[in-house]
Amino acid sequence: MLNYRLTSRFVDWTGRMKTETTGRDPDATRERILDAALDKFAGKGYHDTRLDEIAVESGTSKGAIYFHFPNKERLFLALVDQFADLLERRVTESIVQEDEGINRVRAALVACLDTFGKYRRPAKLLLVQAVGLGSAFEKKRMEVNDRFAGLIRTYLDEAVAVGDIAPVDTEVVSHAWMGAIYGVVIRWVYTGEPTSERILDALLPMLLKSVGYDQ
């Protein structure tokens, strides 16, 4: 787990080191609010978290929160978007040095599983807490799911095009893969088991074999 408070600095859950500045810096204030919201939402849940608590935790005020986010719902969804941006960035960065084909598929899956494994609290927001919170939250979950299934589909299409795997319905396969990843990660979020290393070692070969590729 990341250390979220280091003396005069703080590390947000995207892994970026930021120097803590005064509240006059709008970007720094927004990051502190998001950091505090992640702590509270992950610990207490969406409904039981009050904006007053986030204001105290972030060293700001409710007015500052409302300046950046019109309501608690938008603050929660901003955290989901931030995690989705991180996940997409790690996936796309992972395939830069890989040739088109199954190597990119493998690299994308490894990055996806590794990111969920390292960032348990934001993963909990996306995969657990957003369930049953209403249509806006469900729409966001579906948007994130489609976003990453689309990425996986792109790399699967490339693998088919270069002959690494036989033609498959990549749209169905990519969504099935995301469902498998979510199912295992949800259990890990709740219990801490199996470890992220076990998930990667067992799930990656299974997914690749499902499209006819045996490492």
For residues 54 and 109, membership in a common domain is answered with: no
Count of domains forming the chain: 2
Q: What is the DSSP string of the chain?
A: -----BTTEEE-TTS-EEE---TT-HHHHHHHHHHHHHHHHHHH-TTT--HHHHHHHHTS-HHHHHHH-SSHHHHHHHHHHHHHHHHHHHHHHHTTTSPTTHHHHHHHHHHHHHHHHH-HHHHHIIIIITTTS-HHHHHHHHHHHHHHHHHHHHHHHHHHHTTSS----HHHHHHHHHHHHHHHHHHHHHH--S-HHHHHHHHHHHHHHTTT---
In this structure, the answer to whether residues 99 and 125 fall within a common structural domain is yes
Does any domain span residue 3?
Answer: no
Is the pTM for the entire model greater than 0.85?
no
> Containing domain of residue 89, as a range?
75-209
134 Cβ partners below 8 Å, 6+ apart?
Answer: none
- pLDDT value at 106 more than 60: yes
Q: What is the dihedral of CA 31, 49, 39, 85, to 10 degrees?
A: -50
Same structural domain for residues 53 and 84?
A: no
CA distance 115 to 123: 9
Pair 171, 100 in one domain: yes
CATH number, domain containing residue 63: 1.10.10.60
Last-in-domain residue among 68, 90, 114: 68
User: In this structure, is residue 180 part of a structural domain?
Assistant: yes
Listed residues 68, 92, 119: the one ending a domain: 68
- Residues 33 and 42: their CA atoms lie apart, in Å, by 14
State whether 95 and 63 are in the same domain.
no
pLDDT digits (tens, 9 = 90+) for 4-35: 332 233 334 444 333 333 446 888 899 999 99
Q: What is the pLDDT of residue 72?
A: 92
184 and 94, same domain (yes or no): yes
**Whether 85 contacts 142, CB under 8 Å:** no
The answer as to whether 84 is a domain residue is: yes
In the chain, pLDDT over 70 holds for what percent of residues?
Answer: 88
Q: Are residues 82 and 125 in the same domain?
A: yes
Residue 4 falls inside a structural domain? no
In a shared domain, residues 204 and 107: yes
Instruction: Tell me, yes or no, whether 64 and 80 share the same domain.
Output: no
Residues 79 and 158 in one domain: yes
Per residue in 34-55, pLDDT (tens digit) is: 999 999 988 888 889 999 999 9
At 131-187, the pLDDT tens digits run 778 888 888 888 989 999 999 999 999 999 999 999 999 999 999 999 998 888 888
In a domain, 115, yes or no: yes
Sign of CA dihedral 72, 78, 80, 83: negative
Residues 30 and 125 placed together within one structural domain of the fold: no
CB 148 within 8 A of CB 138: no
Regarding whether 79 and 60 lie in a shared domain, the answer is no
Q: What is the pLDDT of residue 66?
A: 94
- 131 token code pair: 């369930």
User: Would residue 214 count as lying in a domain?
Assistant: no
pLDDT at 32: 93
Does 202 fall in a domain? yes
Final residue belonging to a domain, choices 51, 68, 85: 68
- Whether residue 215 lies inside any domain: the answer is no
Q: Find the mean pLDDT for residues 101-128.
A: 86
Quote the CA–CA distance of 143 and 140 in Å, as a whole number: 5
What does the alpha-carbon distance between residue 10 and residue 7 come to, in Å, rounded to a whole number? 8
